[in-house]
Amino acid sequence: NRTIYTAGRPPWYNCAGQQVEPFVIGICGGSASGKTTVAEKIIESLDVPWVTLLSMDCFYKILNEKQHEQALINEYNFDHPDAFDIELLVDVLTKLKEGRKVEVPVYNFVTHGRETQTKTMYGANVIIFEGILTFHSPEVLKLLDMKIFVDTDPDIRLARRLKRDISQRGRELRGVLKQYLNMVKPSYANYIAPTMAHADIIVPRGGENKVAIHLIVQHVHTQLQLRGFKLRETLANSYKDQPMP
Ligand code: CTP
């Protein structure tokens, strides 16, 4: 995981001491479309210190007893917008955008609940926010500087999801299929796919689309430079020309 969390000198100042507002990228797409892979590829290619990755999964609401029972028999709809604590999400994203330190809940897909400990995150130069419904709330949309939709074939998404839910999320085949057919698939059609209209860029096939990743990285570099942020390479060259003290 190449995500870098920061402490110490605020990273949102450029070398001239001017404040640089973080660039916030929103990545949206159906379940198992490869959102995280796209985010990781962008981070790998960005020549920028202090990039942070935030997942919408951290903001799943705490379930009551009845909802928890439903979740255990694959009858709770985790793909509906109401499943997320949007108020907390907006608060966290707003603070990160202001360069402030935040405590982010840690979600456990096996227990369908939040862990007791939280994860501390700090302001960054680039913040990537990914999830199935990142473009659903108008308040969240306002915080995003660039919106990417990952559009991956539904058969591929289902195949990946089956593998992942069974091997990593403690599920069994029948339950995964029941949840997929009754909730994941209809919610994709009703709530996720329509938000594609908000995207600045649609990335077919996800993380393997090198051309799309390259174009996205170029745009982020340009935007940061316009904000007065110097890239690592530029910084290194400017130091190279200076006489040794
Ligand atoms: N989900 C679940 N059980 C929970 C909470 C969420 O099964 N207790 C499922 C929801 O049905 C939702 C999915 O988790 O569809 C959201 O995670 P997803 O977007 O699939 O995970 P990522 O790893 O972020 O996806 P990607 O492969 O695109 O990176």
Listed in order, strand segments (DSSP E) in 56-171 are 102-108, 113-121, 126-131, 146-151
Distance CA 134, CA 55 (A): 9
Distance CA 228, CA 220 (A): 13
Q: Closest Cα to atom 13, ligand 1: which residue? A: 31
What's the pLDDT tens digit per position in 22-51?
999 999 999 999 999 999 999 999 878 789
Position 212 in a domain: yes
Domain limits for position 203: 23-220
Q: β-strands 102-108, 113-121: how paired?
A: antiparallel
Confirm if 15 and 236 have CB atoms less than 8 A apart.
no
**Start-end of H helices in 73-127:** 86-97
Ligand 1: centre distance to CA 244 (Å)? 52
Position 4 in a domain: no
Q: Closest Cα to atom 27, ligand 1: which residue? A: 32
Within 13 A of 122's CA, how many CA atoms are on the CB side?
15
Position 157 in a domain: yes
Position 14 in a domain: no
Say which CATH number the domain at 181 has: 3.40.50.300
Confirm if 201 and 215 have CB atoms less than 8 A apart.
yes
Position 42 in a domain: yes
What's the pLDDT tens digit per position in 155-165?
999 999 999 99
Q: Closest Cα to atom 25, ligand 1: which residue? A: 32
Distance CA 2, CA 5 (A): 10
- pLDDT by 10s per residue, the chain, length 245: 344 444 444 455 556 666 678 999 999 999 999 999 999 999 999 878 789 999 999 999 999 999 999 999 999 999 999 999 999 999 999 999 998 999 999 999 999 999 999 999 988 889 999 999 999 999 999 999 999 999 999 999 999 999 999 999 999 999 999 999 999 999 999 999 999 999 999 999 998 999 999 999 999 999 988 887 766 555 555 445 555 44
Q: Is 55 helix (H, G, I), strand (E, B) or coil?
A: strand
Distance CA 63, CA 24 (A): 29
Distance CA 189, CA 182 (A): 12
Q: How far apart are the first and last CA of the chain?
A: 37
Distance CA 199, CA 18 (A): 30
Is the CB of 213 within 6 Å of ligand 1?
Answer: no
Confirm if 185 and 132 have CB atoms less than 8 A apart.
no
If you write DSSP's letter for every residue of 21-53 in order, what string do you get? PPEEEEEEESTTSSHHHHHHHHHHH---S-EEE
Is the CB of 30 within 6 Å of ligand 1?
Answer: no
Q: Which atom of ligand 1 is least distant from the CA of 113?
A: 8
Position 18 in a domain: no
Position 78 in a domain: yes
Residue 99 pLDDT: 87
Q: How many domains would you assign to the chain?
A: 1
Is the CB of 212 within 6 Å of ligand 1?
Answer: no
Task: Indicate the Cα dihedral angle 41, 45, 51, 57, nearest 10°.
Answer: -10
Position 124 in a domain: yes
Tokens of 55: 């997942």
Distance CA 3, CA 125 (A): 12
Residue 5 pLDDT: 41
